[in-house]
Amino acid sequence: MVADVVLWGAFSVSAGVGALFRFLLDGIVSRRVPTSLPLGTMAVNVTGAFALGVLDGSAAPTHVVFVCGTGLIGAYTTFSTWMFETQRLTEERQATRAAQNVVVSLIVGVAAAALGLWVGGRL
């Protein structure tokens, strides 16, 4: 019972930290690289894919994966914002940018996750 409370408490705190980190990184990237392509969200999702790959590749214990993978990284990354920004680009008649957002995010995200798995497997 106490262990469950501690686990869920750690999960909640880590999710809050992940959301804060997402907000900060997205803002930093978006301010420094002004473009219609949502590079801030892309940076968040790619770094999150890498981090999750490292975590998974490291064969971390289940409670660590729950807190760090689902809590921290799950709140840090954002599928919904990625899709919302893609839809926004489409509505603004920037179909090429929308397609770039999807294709680049998928390719770079999968590559980052694979690299993370490789790195995590060597820890």
Supply angle C-alpha 16, 71, 37, rounded to 5: 75
Alpha-carbon gap, residue 69 to 62, rounded angstroms:
10
The model's pTM is 0.93
Annotated domain spans of the chain: 2-121
The DSSP call for residue 21 is H
Question: Average pLDDT for residues 77-105, to the nearest whole number?
Answer: 96
**Tokens 């899709």 label which residue?**
83
The DSSP call for residue 36 is S
> Which tens digits make up the pLDDT trace of 6-65?
999 999 999 999 999 999 999 999 999 989 999 999 999 999 999 999 999 999 999 999
